[in-house]
A and B are shown apart, each in its own frame.
Chain A
Amino acid sequence: MTLDIHSARMLEELEPPILLDALKKMYLIRYFEEKAEELYALGKIHGTMHLSIGQEASAVGSCLALQPKDYILSTHRGHGHCIAKGADLNLMMAEFFGKAVGYCRGRGGSMHIADVDGGNLGANGVVGGGLPLAPGVALGLKMKGLPLVCMCFFGDGASVEGAFHESLNLAAVWKLPVVYVCENNQYAMSMPVTKGSAVERISQKASAYDMPGITVDGNDLPAVYLAAKEAVERARSGGGPSLIECLTYRWRGHSKSDRQRYRTKEEVKEWQARDPIVRFRAMLDRARLANPAELDQISEQARQIIEGAVKFAESADDPDPATIMDGVYA
């Protein structure tokens, strides 16, 4: 058995059931999104959605470093974060169907999926929308004396928004327990990161705030996990914020209207060959944590959960129109 250094370290740190559960979460994300895409094409789900297929290692690896009560701020491409943080797939799918029992009672849909009680403060329809909130979440937790951290996800597009600067600066000067996770999937809609950002690595920007910055292979779950773990430990122990850049790629278009004229099919294929799920599964196989049949079973379980979620969501009730004003004010 030969393992790369990240995988070897991760295997030393985490028990097999946790590693197998991480694989299951990746499958859940992949199948959830494939199903959502299919249901959208059938007209059963409306609106739009931003799929993170191909980015599963970034979401699962980062959240694997968190405690259940830690908080995340997610993005418009947030299905993976939601599942990685431990969402109930039935309630999540019900929200996609706009049902009353859905996480947001049919008010939010894909772009605002949130599980406040589970520590997910929501996907955000604004690019970089979570960034200004992150120091506040972390400050609130700190002032309450809770040993918790806030993990703030955002993309390469958000890294050039003004809010990025204000947020990282404040978190750094106040030494707040924030872990900034930039999922660099190479394109801000159609704008390549190479044309939209002056620096080669977004993690370089950390030096402007005197915080650690690291770029990792975002399709390599052990590499993401180890970087996140270090940043989370630093935040939790009072060391302040860190910036992690996960290099990854979205296989699908930006949203449902994308003709993808800004990239080639060859480029997409190149990245698909680095499928984070295939890689992590192969590592578990190599490490003999499970045999191929058992790994297939994990995949099959994930499929069943998604099928069950669709059944649950389809049979759930729509919100009563009389409740339209509920929730505007507390």
Chain B
Amino acid sequence: MPETTRELSYAQAVREALRQALASDPNVFLLGEDIGVYGGAFGVTDGLLEEFGAERVRDTPLSEAVIAGTAIGAAVVGMRPVAEIQFMDFITLSMETLVLQAAKMRYMFGGKARVPMVLRTPAGSGTGAAAQHSESLEAWFVHVPGLKVVMPASPYDAKGLLLAAIYDDNPVIFVEHKLLYKTKGAVPEEPYQVPLGKSEVKRAGKDLTLVATSIMVQRSLEAAEALSQEGIEIEVIDPRTLKPLDIEPIIRSVCKTGKALVVHEAPITGGFGGEVAAQIAASEAFDYLDAPIRRLAGLDVPIPYNRELERRATPQVEDIIREARLLAQGAY
């Protein structure tokens, strides 16, 4: 990581990546609903229209299938579009173009097409927006060969991963988290890339391996700090890219700790945690396991509106502390 003391919010880090890509490469352009004058529903693209003009920061009509499709079509003829879908829930309206066109075009044309596009979208609950504006649907895309899936958890990773995604020659689903937009962290000013497909150990520990994605990385780091006071040392690993998944650092860690807990916000059934657990169980780490691999994830429920119900639908810091403590202390 380049040295810096400059702090940016996660939203500012995403914006800086977009700005630097727009400034350095004429093939990069943005499109999405309300990303121009409005600045994006979460203000992420604020100021970019003024800086780069309406040709390259393109407000689109409410046409999610064609927003994704336009990114794909432009990518195939050599552009590097970055599309925004305003809420990840609405990506359901773009599914055909992403899954049947973007993901498969290169393979079914014999490797003769390139689809260098990014589709950014904010996911996650915690805003009181209830069932249709709060989902985390990353597992669907992890399941599709031909797509890459990225979920940054820090401002530093958000900028570096986004620049890497823009310059990747494949379609990348870039999942941001609404509650992370205001979180701050050190972000170097110069452009840099965090390579796709590289996990990172966010905190070292010897007692338990905790694999977390997106906002659960922050919550897991808080939980690890609290448990450290009790003498339980947790190793927190963030895959950052869900596909392709860099499983090796996770396996190495589990070989060391003998215990594994996977934490994510999306509903547990069919969630990404199952894949991580299965890959750990199928690896040499199996022989080192002292306890079953555990998953802590969202309930199998649409996100409810009531404040307390909403909190309970997804893992909170206290849930992670409780589950990690039980696992570390040999309760399972």
Chain A residues packing against B (C-beta within 8 Å): 71, 102-108, 112, 114, 116-117, 121-122, 124-126, 129, 131-141, 143-144, 150, 162-163, 166-167, 169-170, 173-174, 326-330
Pick 20 A–B contacts, CB within 8 A, sort by A.
Answer: A103-B110, A103-B112, A107-B110, A116-B112, A125-B100, A132-B66, A133-B101, A136-B72, A136-B76, A140-B78, A141-B77, A144-B79, A163-B96, A170-B70, A328-B106, A328-B107, A329-B106, A329-B170, A330-B106, A330-B114
Partner of A126, one of B75, B76, B100: B100
- Asked if B126 is at the interface of the complex by the 8 Å CB criterion, the answer is no
Residues of B with C-beta under 8 A to A108:
108-110
| Complex interface: chain A residues within 8 A of B146 (CB) | 328-329
Residues in A whose Cβ lies below 8 Å from that of B168: 330
Q: In the complex, which residue of chain B has the Cβ closest to the Cβ of A324?
A: B107
Residues of A within 8 A of B107 (CB): 107, 327-328
- Contact partner of A166 (CB less than 8 A), chosen from B58, B66, B106, is B66
* CA–CA, A48 and B170, complex, Å: 29
B76 engages A170 (CB within 8 Å) = no
In B77-134, the 8 Å CB interface with A consists of 77-79, 81, 96-97, 100-101, 105-116
Residue in chain B with minimal CB distance to A106: B110
Q: Are A139 and B70 in contact (CB under 8 A)?
A: yes
Q: How large is the interface on B (under 10, 10 to 19, 20 to 34, 35 or more residues)?
A: 35 or more
Residue from the set B66, B78, B79, B170 with the largest chain A CB neighbour count within 10 Å: B66
Assess the A143–B29 pair: CB atoms within 8 A: yes
Q: Is B194 an interface residue (CB 8 A)?
A: no
Contact of A121 among B58, B76, B145 (CB under 8 A): B76
Contact B65 A166 (CB under 8 A): yes
Known A108-B109, A114-B112, A327-B111: A133·B96 in contact at CB below 8 Å: no
Tell whether B43 is near chain A: CB-to-CB under 8 Å.
Answer: no
B55 within 8 A of A: yes
How many whole Å from A91's CB to the nearest CB in chain B?
10
B101 lies within 8 A of A126 (CB):
yes
- Partner of A107 from B76, B77, B108 at Cβ < 8 Å: B108
